[in-house]
Structure 1
Amino acid sequence: MPGGETNWKKSLPADIVAGTTTALVGIPQVMGFALVAGINPVYGLYTAIFSTAFGAFLTGSTYLRVMLSNVLAVSIYSVLAPVPEADVPATLFVLTLLVGTFQLGFGLIKAGSLTRFISNSVLTGFVAGAALLIVLAQLGNLTGYQLPREAIQILAVPDLLLHADELQPEALAVGLLTIALALGFRQLKRLRSVALLLPVIIATLIARIAFPEVAIVGSIASIPAGLPAPVIPDLALAPGLLIPALALAIIGLVMAVGVTETTPEPDGTVADVNRDFLGQGATNILASFFQCAPSSGSLSATALNVAAGAKTRAANLISGVIVGVIILVAGPLAELIPLPALAGILILIGIELIYQPREIACIWKYSRPGRWGMVATFTSTQILPLQYSIYIGVLLSLVIYLVTSTREASVVHLVPVDEWIFRVEPVPDRLPSGTTTILSISGSVYFATLRAIERSLPSPEGSESAVVILALRGRSEAGIGLFRMLERYARKVRAHNGRFILAEVEPRLLAGLEESGAAGTIGRKNIFLATPVIWESLQGAIRAAEAGD
């Protein structure tokens, strides 16, 4: 269509600029994240080519950049740490395939809404814990003292102190120089987009001239000039990777939901997270045949894509193509990058992820369950493999939800101010005799909250001829526990010559009351069905109570 062609031509220059920017910034990042994951940096580069390009076509979000992320990298390291070095590549490709399969499955069953049950406090603790692991994992590369693989946790700090005499001042100087340059370039608006790439280039040149003994990427891995040959993942390795792959799939999707919800589409709408699930799943499945690591939507990379001026999803496609061209032309040059320089970039990224003072302060101050959920999740990341910490986080999120909703479930007293206006007051301990008391349930209604709700109901003991109206608007889903609770309270009120009335009852709830027999106990004339007009049914119940009908 002519209009579409015109729009495409108009957006292409901006997409080229954005794609070039994210490609140049992403190259040192993905190489560093590959080091964090304990894999050859070339697999990080392949992921930046294929996963980013495939994701541009397959995900629902226009700007979402799919790549190897920092949190996923730490999780991959936890999975691959026990694997013999010779088997790491084959295991990695199968892991990518399984992660994609799980993500695709989540998309097919439309599981996007379930991610809301992972609380923000737990996610904050998880990300901060994973970021600390990134920092600790790079202390060896930064200082030139190689930590044992099993020591890359909080024990890395005392281990380094005990071996202070083995640290390499040259390596530390290169790493600290890289960090200082990155911080400095970020202050310059014109250089902000390459504030991570330029320090690595400068540090590489300085190390080649002044510190040739500093370890480089080429000392641990080779970066060939060319694109990878397709491989078929060895499915015989799959059974032992199912549980960690599921954890990585959950981590990736939770990260991606955060990106989708904070990055609106060009028209201002929010992309369909379930389509993003499908797209990321298909991306990882396809990428596993091209020697890629598991990938997910990256918040920082997507934010950079938008800030660089991306207009369409072509920006991500261009980014992948540019990384591919760079590898074809100058792949082996990446072997000259000093490991302390990459470590400095990763430590800087990790510290920025840990330093979330406003987020942490709000959680600590305003949510007691969230506070301990954040602390527990953070602690679990330091003592358990990270892929299992996400399970701890999911469990804690559910516990926090259950505890919070149980505490908040109660009954409130509605005092009429005008015909359609009510003032909320605390529920009286006992029903006043000869008067009408209007109540409403506040909070969630399910089996765990019924006891708290029943305790909140005013006692009919000592009252005579009291009328109780309980408004149940919006309570269409209920179980037998609610029906039995309402029956018990109706009997108590009736035992003191009182009357118990239900108002704003949804048709589905009425069906349950009738089928369970509770409607017979309460009395069908004491049940007022909800109407499309809010509180109309309640007004009818009040008039019936006043008239004694």
Structure 2
Amino acid sequence: MPAGEKDWGKSLRADIIAGTTTALVGIPQAMGFALVAGISPIYGLYTAAFSTAIGSLLTGSTYLKVMLSNVLAVSIFSVLAPVPETDVPATLFVLTILVGAFQLGFGLLRAGSLTRFISNAVLTGFVTGAALLIVLGQLGNLTGYELPRDAIQILAMLDLIRHAGDIQPEALAVGLLTIALVLGFRRVPHLRSVALLLPIVIATLLVPAVFPGVALVGDISTIPAGLPAPVIPDLALIPGLLVPALALAIIGLVMAVGVTEAIPEPDGTIADVNRDFTGQGVTNILASFLQCAPASGSLSATALNVAAGAETRAANLISGALVGVVVVLAGPLAEQIPLPALAGILILIGIELIYQPHEIVCIWKYSRPGRWAMLATFISTQVLPLQYSIYVGVLLSLAIYLVTSTREASVVRLVPVGGGMFREEPAPGRLVDDTLTVLSISGSVYFATLRAIERSLPSPEGAEGAVVILALRGRVEAGTGLFRMLERYARRVTAGGNRLILAEVDPRFLAGLVETGAAAEIGRDNIFFATPVVWESLMEAIRAAEAGA
């Protein structure tokens, strides 16, 4: 085979294996996440078929698997909880098309960079809180005791403890057996790919003979054979769903960015997150007409896709197609699946999401603002509808950014050590007579940090013959606030017969100084332009100051 030519036969074989693996794992996950979302398991299966297949063709990432994820499922539940049961399907489909529209809009506006303003601490608190909600929300199905649908799930768990005598031993036995089988099969290399599916099959075969009274999927929903008939979402429901749909879109996109950054492309590059946004948006818009739930990129499913050997985006296309085939050929058989078995798998998934002690400990030890943001976001997931918790997280992330950048903004002293190099020291509190002081601004420069920067400048009061050089390399779009601050400082410095020199000044920055009048106060002879050579302009300014020019 010529060098560089791809072995398409080998890739197809690898993609078929990977697609089959993710389909087998995804079928019980899709049904389980649908239960978490409070919707019929059939909508989870439709999403696993159509959204995964369509997303494989439209997203920028080769491996990204678009599906109903665990965090999205909990969020959807909090949106649909107050909706009458008969109106849930219509509301779900409108929610899907709205989420898609927002995702598409984010992609077209190239808003991918904005997700960096959601801190890792906030995201950790949010995911941990959502995972705990999954665990708490499935205790009813695991034990056979119907829990109250409290807004605060921890109160529902307390209700379960008070009614421990009403727990059905048969249901609990099926759920715990399922968990034990999953853990056992994961230890067998050849069975890992079916470690979620096989326990479901075993529990389904076992329950009619041993535990005939255990609740089944068919007790809460009908699973028809065949693919769904197209529906037209009821657009009249849009106004009441705009705010939660935006929250779901943000949640989905943040998760997708995490996938894109964690799992690079086959050539080692990072996929275009904005193309991922538009691809997921169009996927959800199209899938809403096919009775699908909102979907986004899933880190665990994508990681499994790669681990299973996927080489191209065909793996996800095959995975979606296989789920569709299963729905067509064996949909009604899913009605025989015991609810405690699905609950056991979901609880196991939730516990694995919660169990990230290293990440939590690192945030707690090394970031004081992050520590409290993580804790506050976690608490908000337990006491607020989850779709609103992401807004709490976004606001906390912005607050962390503002507080941290404001604290870090200061002025430092540059002490020449020879060879054009400098040692950083804290800026002096006051200028000294007949002494040259070289300064530079450390940290971000914007309106919120100007006061901290101005306080860091050494006071010129009482000094005579002192010279201050302030290096401004890289400061281009500083805003009029910085120009006014420099004008005020120049006036204070020159009032006592001292001198202020600006070095490393960009021509665009000078234009702002001129237009605001700050350049006139400083003096054009005291402004030295930046060059492509770092600190060349600063060295020129130092020589001019030492020569008294």
TM-score range, shorter chain: over 0.9
* Equivalence for 2:206: 206
- What does 1:303-322 align with in structure 2 at a 5 Å threshold? 303-322=303-322
CA offset digits 1:418-453 (Å, max 9, x no partner): 131111111111112211111111110011101111
1:343 corresponds to which residue? 343
Partners of 2:515 and 2:213 in 1: how far apart? 81
Following the alignment from structure 1 to structure 2, what is the Cα–Cα distance between the partners of residues 187 and 418? 62
Structure 1: which amino acid aligns with 2:390? I
For residues 523 and 177 of structure 1, the distance between their equivalents in structure 2, rounded to whole angstroms, comes to 82
User: Is 1:296 the equivalent of 2:301?
Assistant: no
SS class of match (1:437): strand
- Indicate the SS of the match to 1:150: coil
Deviation at 1:97, TM superposition (A): 0.4
Q: Decide whether the 8 Å contact of 2:409 with 2:449 is kept in 1.
A: yes
Write the distance in 2 (CA, Å) between the matches of 1:535 and 1:526.
Answer: 16
Aligned-partner Cα distance in 1 for 2:378–2:301: 24
RMSD: 1.2
After TM superposition, the structure 1 = structure 2 runs for residues 179-258 of structure 1, keeping only pairs within 5 Å, are 179-258=179-258
Residue 260 (structure 2) aligns with = 260
1:151 is displaced (CA, Å) by 5.4
- Code of the aligned partner of 1:30: A
In the alignment, which residue of structure 2 is the partner of 1:139? 139
In 2, Cα distance between equivalents of 1:519 and 1:61: 50
Residue matched to 1:283: 283
Q: Deviations over 1:230-271 (max 9, x none)?
A: 111110111111111010000000000000011100000000
Q: Which residue of 2 aligns with 1:157?
A: 157
Aligned to 2:328: 328
2:492 alignment partner, SS class? helix
User: Does structure 1 retain, via aligned residues, the 8 Å contact 2:149–2:156?
Assistant: no
1:546 maps to amino acid: E
2:18 aligns with 18
- Kindly tell me: are residues 369 and 482 of structure 1, through their superposed partners in 2, closer, same or farther at Cα, counting changes over 3 Å? same
Task: Tell me the distance in 1 between the aligned counterparts of 2:344 and 2:106.
Answer: 36
Q: Is the 8 A contact 1:170 1:214 kept in 2?
A: yes
Q: Is the partner of 2:154 in helix, strand or coil?
A: coil
The structural deviation recorded for 1:333 is 1.0
Aligned match of 1:434: 434
Aligned to 1:42: 42
Whichever residue aligns with residue 541 of structure 1, its letter is A
Q: Report which stretch shifted further, 5-14 or 158-167.
A: 5-14
Q: Is the 8 A contact 2:225 2:327 kept in 1?
A: yes
Deviation at 1:510, TM superposition (A): 0.9
Please name the residue that 1:547 is paired with: 547
Counterpart CA distance in 1 for 2:151 and 2:406 is 41
- 1:341-378: CA deviations, max 9, x gaps? 11111111111111111111111111111111101111
The residue number in structure 1 matching 2:532 is 532
Contact preservation (8 Å) 1:260, 1:273 = yes
Please tell me whether residue 391 in structure 1 is matched to residue 376 in structure 2: no
Letter paired with 2:252: G
1:87 counterpart = 2:87? yes
1:217–1:335: 8 Å Cα contact kept in structure 2?
A: yes
2:455 counterpart of 1:443: no
Q: Using the alignment, how far apart are the partners of 1:498 and 1:362 within structure 2? A: 48
Amino acid at match of 2:57: F
Quick one: which amino acid aligns to residue 223 of structure 1?
I
Q: What does the per-residue CA deviation read over 1:301-333, in whole Å, with 9 as the maximum and x for residues that have no partner? A: 000000000000000000001101111111111
2:407 is aligned to 407
CA distance in 2, matches of 1:279, 1:300: 19
| CA shift in 2, pair 1:5/1:428, >3 Å | closer
Counterpart residue identity of residue 475, structure 1: R
Shift of 1:147: 1.1
Moved more, 323-332 or 256-265: 323-332
Contact persistence 1:132–1:351 (CA under 8 A): yes
Alpha-carbon distance in structure 1 between the residues aligned to 2:152 and 2:362: 30
Contact kept, 8 Å, 1:137 with 1:152, in 2: the verdict is no
Task: Map 1:165-184 onto structure 2 (within 5 A).
Answer: 165-184=165-184
Confirm whether residue 65 of structure 1 aligns to residue 55 of structure 2.
no
Q: Is the 1:136–1:152 contact (alpha carbons within 8 Å) kept by the matching residues of 2?
A: no
Question: CA–CA distance in 1 between the matches of 2:234 and 2:369?
Answer: 44
Identify unmatched segments of 5+ residues in structure 2. Answer: none
Stretches of structure 1 lacking an aligned partner (at least 5 in a row): none
**Per-residue deviation at 1:209?**
1.7
Task: Please say if residues 20 and 318 of structure 1, whose CA atoms lie closer than 8 Å, have aligned partners that are also in contact.
Answer: yes
- 2: distance between equivalents of 1:98 and 1:35? 21
- Name the amino acid aligned to 1:328: V
Shift of 1:202: 1.5
Question: How far did 1:535 drift?
Answer: 0.5
Contact in 2 for aligned 1:144/1:340 (Cα 8 Å):
yes
Offset at residue 6 of structure 1 (A): 5.2
Partner of 2:417: 417
| Alpha-carbon spacing, 1:98–1:5, altered in 2? closer, same or farther (3 Å) | farther
Scaled by the length of structure 2, the TM-score of the pair is 0.98
Aligned pairs (5 A) from 1:476-515: 476-515=476-515
1:515-548 CA distances to partner (integer Å, 9 max, x unpaired)?
1110110111111111111111111111111111
Paired amino acid for 2:499: R
**What do residues 277-307 of structure 1 show as CA deviations (whole Å, max 9, x unaligned)?**
0000000000000000000000000000000
Residue type matched to 1:214 in 2?
V
Task: Verify the 8 A CA contact 1:130 1:386 in the aligned structure 2.
Answer: yes
Percentage of identical aligned residues: 80
Cα displacement string for residues 403-426 of structure 1 (whole angstroms, at most 9, x for unaligned residues)? 000011111111000131111111
CA distance in 2, matches of 1:371, 1:21: 38
CA apart distance, 1:146: 1.0
Whole-Å separation in 2 of the counterparts to 1:284 and 1:233: 12
Does the 8 Å CA contact 2:464/2:496 hold for their aligned counterparts?
yes
SS of the residue aligned with 1:293?
Answer: coil
SS of 1:440's equivalent in the other structure is strand
Distance in 1, Cα, partners of 2:403 & 2:365: 18
Distance 1:42 1:4 in 2: 44
Say whether the 8 Å CA contact 2:151–2:383 is kept in structure 1: no
The answer as to whether partners of 1:67 and 1:296 remain within 8 angstroms in 2 is yes
TM-score, reference length from structure 1? 0.98
Alpha-carbon distance in structure 2 between the residues aligned to 1:176 and 1:462:
79
Report deviation, 1:3.
Answer: 9.7
The verdict on how the C-alpha distance between 1:144 and 1:524 changes in structure 2, with shifts beyond 3 A counting, is: same
Instruction: Indicate yes or no: 2:102 matched with 1:102.
Output: yes
1:469 paired with 2:466, answer no
Distance 2:500 2:4 in 1: 65
